[in-house]
Amino acid sequence: MTPERMARIKSVIKHRQFDLTVVMENVFDPHNISAVMRSCDAVGVQELYVLNTRIPPHKKWGSKSSASAAQWLTIYTFTDVADCFATLRKKYQKIYTTHLASESVSLYELDLTQPVALVFGNEAEGVSAEVCRYADGNFLIPQVGMVKSLNISVACAVTLYEAFRQRWQAGYYQQADRFQAEKHALEKLWLRQDEIS
* Domain-located, residue 7: no
- pLDDT of 96 higher than 80: yes
pTM of the model: 0.91
At residue 65, the pLDDT reads 47
Between CA 102 and CA 45 the distance in angstroms is 29
Q: Indicate if the pLDDT at residue 179 is higher than 60.
A: yes
Per the domain annotation, does 142 fall within a domain? Answer: yes
What is the mean predicted confidence (pLDDT) over 160-182? 95
- The CA-atom distances, in angstroms, between 122 and each of 2, 3, 150, 162, 184 are 41, 42, 11, 21, 34
Amino acid residing at 14: K
What is the average pLDDT score of the chain? 90
Q: Are 84 and 57 in contact (CB under 8 A)?
A: no
Domain presence at residue 180: yes
Who's near 180: CB < 8 A, 6+ residues apart? none
Q: What total of structural domains would you count in the chain?
A: 1
Q: CA angle, 116 as apex, 114 and 122 as ends, to 5°?
A: 155
How far apart, in whole angstroms, are the C-alpha atoms of residue 150 and residue 97? 14
Residue 172 binned pLDDT confidence (cut-offs 50, 70, 90): very high
Of residues 70 and 21, which shows the higher confidence score? 21
CB 27 within 8 A of CB 56: no
Task: Give per-residue pLDDT as tens, 28-68.
Answer: 888 899 999 999 999 999 999 999 998 776 655 544 545 57
In a domain, 8, yes or no: no
Phi, psi values for residue 24, rounded to 5°: -115, 120
CATH label of the domain that carries residue 105? 3.40.1280.10
Per-residue model confidence (pLDDT) at position 185: 95
- What is the structure's pLDDT at 149? 80
57 in a structural domain: yes
Q: How much is the average pLDDT of 103-116?
A: 95
Is residue 176 in a domain? yes
- Average the pLDDT over 9-38 and give the result: 94
DSSP annotation string for 108-153: GGS-TTSSEEEEE-BTTTBS-HHHHTT-SEEEE----SSS----HH
CA dihedral (117, 121, 127, 130) positive or negative: negative
> Does some domain include residue 196?
no
pLDDT given for residue 54 in this prediction? 82
Tens digits of residue pLDDT in 112-164: 999 999 999 988 889 999 999 999 999 999 988 988 788 999 999 999 999 99
Q: pLDDT exceeding 90 applies to what percent of the chain?
A: 69
Residue at 105 is within a domain:
yes
Give pLDDT, residue 57. Answer: 65
Pairwise CA distance, residues 44 & 15, whole Å: 6
Question: Which range marks the domain in which residue 177 is found?
Answer: 18-188
Q: Which helix (H) or strand (E) element contains residue 21?
A: strand 20-25
